[in-house]
Structure formats: C-alpha cells, structure tokens
Amino acid sequence: MAQDRAPTRIQRKNRAAILDAALEVFSAHGFRGATVDQIAVQAGLSKPNLLYYFPSKEAMHAALLEGLLDTWLDPLRDLDPAGEPMDEILAYVRRKLQMSREFPRESRLFANELVQGAPRIHDALSRDLKALVDEKVTILEGWMAQGRIARVHPYHLIFSIWSLTQHYSDFDVQVRAVLDTEDPFDGASDFIETLYRRLLSPP
Amino acid sequence: MAQDRAPTRIQRKNRAAILDAALEVFSAHGFRGATVDQIAVQAGLSKPNLLYYFPSKEAMHAALLEGLLDTWLDPLRDLDPAGEPMDEILAYVRRKLQMSREFPRESRLFANELVQGAPRIHDALSRDLKALVDEKVTILEGWMAQGRIARVHPYHLIFSIWSLTQHYSDFDVQVRAVLDTEDPFDGASDFIETLYRRLLSPP
DNA sequence: GTCTATAGCCTGATAGAC
DNA sequence: GTCTATCAGGCTATAGAC
C-alpha cells in the first residue's frame, strides 16, 4: 500500500478481509466500542498488519462508511418515474426490506453512526442524501397530483419506509425478544406491503 | 451513600444532576464512547465525586436503564381494552410520538443499547417487554376478531408504532439533514395518524 | 509483508488531604 | 462530601527484527 502500484491478489484479499472484519466489529460495538485487536482476530491477522493496510482505526471506519451510503441509497435511486406508481413504491419497499435482511451489519453500522449524531457523515447526508430524496419526492408529488396514489406528506412517506424496514435489522434483538420463534422478516414483509397498499390506494 | 440513611437534599440533588449528565453523555456517545470525565464536567462535579455517588461508570448506566424501560412502556400499558379500538390505538401512537419528542435522549440511550445487541437489558426485554406486548396483542386480536379494526399482524403493528415514532428522535440528524427547515414532529404526527387510520379502518 | 515488543496516551478507579 | 494527585489497565500506533 505504501507504493501507488496496483494491489496484488494478496493485498486485495487482505484488505477485503480486514474490511469485512471491521464491519463485523464496528457494527456490533460502535466505533469507540470496537478495538483494533478484535478486528485483527476476526480478520485472522496481527494488529500491526492491519495498520500496515490502513493508517489508523479511523481510516478503516471511514473506508467502510464511504462505500456504504451509495450502496444504501441504490434501492431509492431505482425508483422509476415512468413506472406504475403503486408498483414502484412497493418494489422500493421490498428492495429496502431485503437489504435489511441481507445486510444487517451494514444497517447497524449506519444506525450506530446516526444515533450518535452522524459526526463522520453529516456532510454526505445533507448533500447526497438530501439531493436524492428531494429528487424522488418530486416524482411522488407528481403521482399524487395526478391522483395515481393518495396524497400524503412525501418526505414522511420516505422516512416511514426507512424506519419500518431498518427496524428489523437495527433493533433485531428487541424484535426477537418479543417474537421468539418465527423469522421476523416473513411477517414483516406482508405487514408492510399491506400497510402501503392501504395508505396509498387512490381514494 | 455509604450509610443506609435516607439521602439528604444535597445528596438527592447531586444524584439527580449526575444521572441527568450521564443521560446526556451516554445517549450522545454510547456506553463506551462516554467518559466519566465528560459526565463530571456536564454535572459540574469532580470525577472522584461522581464515583462517591455511584460505585462505577457501569452503575450510572445501569441506574439509568433500570428506570427507563418501565417509563418507556407506560404508553403501551395504558392501552385500554374497554376503549374504542381506533381511538385507543391512535392515542397510543400519539403518546409514543410525544415521548420521542419530549425525551429524545432517553430514546437514544435505548437505541444505542439495542443496536449493539442490548447486552445489559436483554433479560428485561424477553421478560417484561415480551409479557406486556403479549398481553396487548391479545387485546388487538380481540378487536380484529370482532371486526372493529382491520386484521393485520398484531406484533408487527406494534413494531411499526415503535419504529415510526422513535425514528424521529433516534435518527433525528438524518431527518433534519433532509428536511432542513420545519419541525419534523409536526408533519410526522399528521402522517402517522393518517397511516394508521387507513391501515386499520374496518373493511 | 508480517511479526513481537513496546511506547505513550487515555480513562476508570483509588488514596488521602481537607 | 469534595477535592488534587496518582495508579493501573487497556488501547492505538510505532519500532525494528525477520
């Protein structure tokens, strides 16, 4: 890494292993709660070796967050203004819920950051996130004006989708403490779909 | 505190100041991210003085959580089986949202704990929380069986209320980054009320 | 590139004067 | 009861051998 050469296979593999281990540990304990030692053990490398690939603990965390926001917003980016409104929104909800199910660690990493005031990604939120949401809200407003979906506050509609879907990954322990047997996502999927059908069906 | 005497006025005042400061710092930085020094500064006392009132940092955190779960569940506890179903549920939603608005620090303290796997309150969740939710789900199922509200998965209905209301305190930064001017809670209140009216109106 | 050993800081907790 | 001073442990990061 010291040189600006293209990384070798081993370097790529180690970097990926470190980032995966870091995701595991940061998402479970938060930035301060995580230790480089834990990450090293999880990655199967020594602590100084981690700091050979990344200049600091902070840098590992930053590398994770950097890639994350983009990926995280992909489901919303795919909302198609040319599609059938109800189908588009329900498809977005499904993509978002599936993301929570498949990538709970990423969701919790993000949640950890947000609940503590997003010190490291505040700028990206008010720039990239806001721009994307504003754009998609315009689409939603168009659909509402045409009477193709019911009229509700479009920003809160989007917040509700985030909140309902991520709840099952971020607060997973709580959900499982109450629903001790069943896979929470199965019931959640039907419930949330019904919810948006009833909320948004044109009057 | 060493003696088992009734606390003096000053002792009560200091203890309360410490707990308030601890809530401030723990909710903003999580358990590991918070330092006793920060709490001491916030409380206007010296670090050893804090540890005169509480045996450890852990004990301050435990004292906060102990009181919290009960208070946090009061709005659900008040759901009255003898009331009008739709009114009862909407009133619960309103109480919960108001709690998020008035006590965002408490909500974030809880969120911090949950997102990291609830290591310190897991037992209380699967005991007290589960028992209360089970009880209230029975009421909801009764109302659904009588056709007084629409039939939806009752557990997920409760999860949705938690998720939608706490989102505005827990992920406050994100909401404000997108909605830069307005007070988020105003729009949220109307949106959420509409949502549950449409979801639960009998067919 | 990877390791062992260690420096140096931060932080929770204690000792002891007042 | 409250403070100043300090200890002890854990942590990030670096030095230096291989």
Surface of A (133-162) touching B: CB under 8 A: 133-134, 150, 152-153, 155-157, 159-160, 162
Nearest to A194 by CA among B71, B191, B152: B152
pLDDT in tens, A106-160: 999 999 999 999 999 999 999 999 999 999 999 999 999 999 999 999 999 999 9
Mutate to test the interface with B, among A26, A38, A135, A174 (most CBs of B within 10 A): A174
Q: Is residue A34 within 8 Å of residue A112, measured between CB atoms?
A: no
Surface of B (75-134) touching A: CB under 8 A: 108, 111-112, 114-118, 122, 125-126, 129-130, 133-134
- Looking at residue A60, what is its pLDDT? 98
Q: Is residue B86 within 8 Å of residue B200, measured between CB atoms?
A: yes
DSSP element (H, E) containing B59? helix B57-77
Enumerate the H helices of B54-171 as residue ranges.
57-77, 85-102, 104-115, 122-124, 130-145, 154-170
> A150 — phi, psi (to 5°)?
-65, 155
Can you give the length of chain A in residues? 203
Q: How far out from the chain centre does Cα A168 lie?
A: 12
Average pLDDT of the segment spanning A57-82: 97
Q: Is residue A199 within 8 Å of residue A131, measured between CB atoms?
A: no
pTM of the model: 0.97
Q: Is residue A168 within 8 Å of residue A192, measured between CB atoms?
A: no
Q: Which residues contact A14 (CB under 8 A, 6 or more apart)?
A: A43, A45, A49, A53
More confident residue, A203 or A53: A53
Stretches in chain B below the pLDDT threshold 70: 1-4
B52 closest-nt by C1' vs CA: D1
A176 to chain B: nearest residue by CA? B126
pLDDT in tens, A90-103: 999 999 999 999 99
